[in-house]
Amino acid sequence: MRIKCLDILRAIAMLMVLVSHTPSDIVNLGFFQPVVVFLERHGWTGVDLFFVLSGYLVSGLLFREYQQTGTIRSGRFLVRRGFKIYPSYYAVILLTMLVLAFQLKQLSPFNLDLILSDALFIDNYRPGYWGHLWSLAIEEHFYLILCATVVLLIRLRPEDSFRSFPPLVMALAIALLGLRVFLAFYGCEGNLNLLRSTPTHLRIDSLFFGSLLSYWHNFFPKEFEATIDRHYRLIGFASAALLLCTFQFGYWHVFTRTGGFTFLYLGYAGVMCLFLRAPAVSSRFMRPVEDFAAYLGRHSYSIYLWHYLVVSWGPPFLKKVHLAPSSDVGKFALFVSSSLVVGVVLSKLIETHFLALRDRLMSRPEKMRSPRQRMAIAGGRITELDRAQRGSVNAALPPLMAESRWLAD
């Protein structure tokens, strides 16, 4: 079962990024113009919201595997992520090569070099063909680093493996903030155009902060939920302040490139926490809107992946066949709707089938361990999970959180 509130948040993040890539010739949208202008300027921050969500959801898969089995099979985890990410991703790469070969009659070394950067997930360090795949490169690097981190923590401290995780994440956040400040003032000779904002070593802290929240929620669920319920007004105010403060500056401003990235993931982490504890909507009008947003969120990866191709290839094709809308409102509506439709359809044609194949190939049931077994494995010491369960669980009960409750892709 999916987490509906986070699917809705995924849809919001996806729509923010999508609108920020509105074609530049669309300038007159009447009543909606202020909203579109705002999202064109600040919608790029939806990527930071994606990072926090991915860090929370993906690391939760590893934490729950450890809770249930006492170990983490990093190879299996990476293969499962590959079934989710690679089919649609490399379909984009293949289609790009075919279109370029058809248009140009041959692939130039320059275009091949750009496509190779995308294909190897290194386009956040060197130019790639598409301008939005850098964020997926960071996420791919995060999967590898996260696996290595949690496996190392288990081997170093098998009796209390993740106690070091929170200070490790906080140290990483401080170090990367310091690195961004140093590079902004001393590493680019005063020219921020030379300071790339896409390298993994400058942005991965947002994903790990999502992992920190996942650690807290999985190992200490009662404390996590009680803290949000008790301080939701403060969390909401602080999140709004952090985000609005960053929105005051442009993308190229020195503050945005340094502390702004930290403000963004802290603010969006607060928003995610509020969504996790938000009550269900009972309004007859809002429920269909909520369901539709969650549906888009379930296909947000595919929509994000393909929308750049739609905005790049769609308008020239429509002009060529004389089907381009004449009004800016029509152009905008066509851009958004076609991006959503193409993303959802290709998600069903590609992603859904490979996920079903993954589940068939990797459906072997996990061997569970009881709290008493966890205590024995830990050498008699109380682990994080057992601390969360003390006073309410005995050896006959199942682990704290069933995987079906929080299952993510």
- Per-residue b or e along 62-89, where b marks 16 or more CB atoms closer than 10 Å to that residue's CB: bbbbbbbebebebeebeebbebbbebbb
- 137 Cβ contact list (under 8 Å, min separation 6): 121, 122, 123, 124, 125, 198, 200
CA distance linking residue 55 with residue 49, whole number of Å: 10
Residue that is written with structure tokens 């791919």 in the block: 140
Q: How confident is the model at residue 408 (pLDDT cuts 50, 70, 90)?
A: very low
The average pLDDT across 345-360 equals 95
CA distance linking residue 123 with residue 100, whole number of Å: 19
Q: How confident is the model at residue 193 (pLDDT cuts 50, 70, 90)?
A: low
E-assigned strands of 273-330?
none
pLDDT tens digits, 153-190: 999 988 888 999 999 999 999 999 999 999 888 876 55
Q: What is the pTM of this model?
A: 0.87
Angle, CA of 198, 201 and 203, to the nearest 5°: 50
**Backbone φ and ψ of 21, nearest 5°:** -100, 20
pLDDT tens digits, 200-227: 999 999 999 999 999 999 999 999 999 9
Name the percent of the chain lying above pLDDT 90: 62
Structural domain spans, the chain = 4-405
